[in-house]
Amino acid sequence: MNGKYAVLHLSALMLLSGTVISCKKDNRPVENFPAPTPARLEVPGNLPKVADDADNPLSAEGIELGRILFYDARLSGNNKLSCASCHRQDIAFSDATALTSIGVSAKPLHRHTPTLFNLAWAKSGLFWDGGSKNLESQALGPLTSEDEMHQDLYELERELKAVPDYVKRFKLVFNREITSTDVLKALAQFQRTLISAGSRYDLYIRKVPGATLSSQELQGLALVNAKCGSCHQGELFTDYSYHNNGIDATFPADLEGIYQGRYRVSFDPADRGKFKTPSLRNVMLTAPYMHDGRFSNLDQVLDHYRSGITYSATVDRALYQNNGNLGIPISQAEKAAIKAFLSALTDDAFTKNKKFSNPN
């Protein structure tokens, strides 16, 4: 869902231990409904296989319910914001803002809004620091944060129960009355279907007739693999792990430690300043960059890796040269080739896919 890399209240996370606990104790089945239609993720051949989620199996009706909820402003306390308010399909479900202030409090958040695609493979935690274990628990943060959607979950249940279509859909999908737990499950089902693998690069890799990459783009692919591949790995162009990429020298404990990166969750000193690797897919659409949106364009990002890395004890070893100096040597011609290849990772089919669009 909204998935902002803003402060995820620790008190909310303590309610979750892999599965979401309902705000209502009464989850007793109601009258029998036809079983929902089982669904499977449509995974293109060049992407890794993905395991089904046994605790929240996909159904056609569950996915559609999640899509409807994703675009419904009832999910916010002021009934003005939906998940899609900060996750726009046309820019790969990002928001084009460094630190958005669109939330109910109108205060700027402290982390940059993430993209929402290929999350079915994100098994090592969500948010920039991995503070949420899975998609179901992740959605609780932005839903309840006073600086984001600021929704009371009991009120949300009451509002949805007042809509006959929702009552019918929840009974069909979950065979019980509406609970906030099932809101989160439906949203997670929809988000797992947001698979992006239809770029020109993908068509070339899958040998689709007529699909080509230019010599400069192919050079850029080789450079990305050689210079960026330690973190932006494989066909997903991310290792879904956490790294200190040298953008800060210190990591203060302010605001519940959100500047400390993965350390905020693991309490391992080796994790100070480590943040999750974003995918390079659709990167031309998702500026600004980094966990706080500090870089407005890719030239700034590449210049950082070339000559702007700041030392700290946990800087990733891949950013050291053989002579011990920090930085990744990148010439101007190599920078141009890298940017050319990254353009080939833009997935217009994904950003225009009506299956992911507002059903209204």
**Is 343 part of any domain?**
yes
Separation of alpha carbons 218 and 212, rounded Å: 10
Cα angle: 254, vertex 259, 263; to 5 degrees? 105
Give the residue among 241, 170, 197 at the shortest CA–CA distance from 48: 197
143 and 208 together in one domain: no
Question: pLDDT at position 341, please?
Answer: 98
Amino acid at 295: F
Q: Could you give the C-alpha distances from 290 to 100, 176, 184, 195, in angstroms and in order?
A: 14, 41, 27, 22
- 62-90 burial: b if 16+ Cβ within 10 Å, else e: bbbbbbbbbbbebbbbeeebbbbbbbbbe
From 163, 196, 229, give the residue that closes a domain.
196
46 and 161 together in one domain: yes
206 and 171 together in one domain: no
Overall number of domains in the chain: 2
186 and 235 together in one domain: no
**Is 358 part of any domain?**
no
Question: pLDDT at position 352, please?
Answer: 98
156 and 250 together in one domain: no
148 and 242 together in one domain: no
Give the residue among 167, 132, 122 at the shortest CA–CA distance from 4: 132
What stretches in the chain show pLDDT beneath 50? 1-25, 30
Work out the number of other CB atoms within 10 angstroms of the CB of residue 123.
12
Question: pLDDT at position 128, please?
Answer: 97
Question: pLDDT at position 27, please?
Answer: 56
Burial of 165 (0-12, 13-18, 19+ CB in 10 A): exposed
Structure tokens at 241: 């792990």
CATH of the domain at 70: 1.10.760.10
Question: pLDDT at position 187, please?
Answer: 98
What are the DSSP calls for 311-341, one per residue?
P-TTB-GGGB-TTS-BS----HHHHHHHHHH
**Is 50 part of any domain?**
yes
281 and 163 together in one domain: no
Work out the number of other CB atoms within 10 angstroms of the CB of residue 162.
11
Dump pLDDT digits (tens) for 180-205.
999 999 999 999 999 999 999 999 99
Collapsing DSSP to helix, strand or coil, 252 comes out as coil
175 and 280 together in one domain: no
Could you tell me if 86 and 75 are in contact, meaning their C-beta atoms sit under 8 angstroms apart? no
Residue 311 belongs to domain spanning: 200-349
235 and 316 together in one domain: yes
Could you tell me if 244 and 274 are in contact, meaning their C-beta atoms sit under 8 angstroms apart? yes
**Is 5 part of any domain?**
no
**Is 52 part of any domain?**
yes
136 and 91 together in one domain: yes
Separation of alpha carbons 129 and 256, rounded Å: 12
20 and 160 together in one domain: yes
Q: What is the pTM of this model?
A: 0.90
228 and 273 together in one domain: yes
> Residue 278, preceding bond cis, omega within 30 degrees?
no
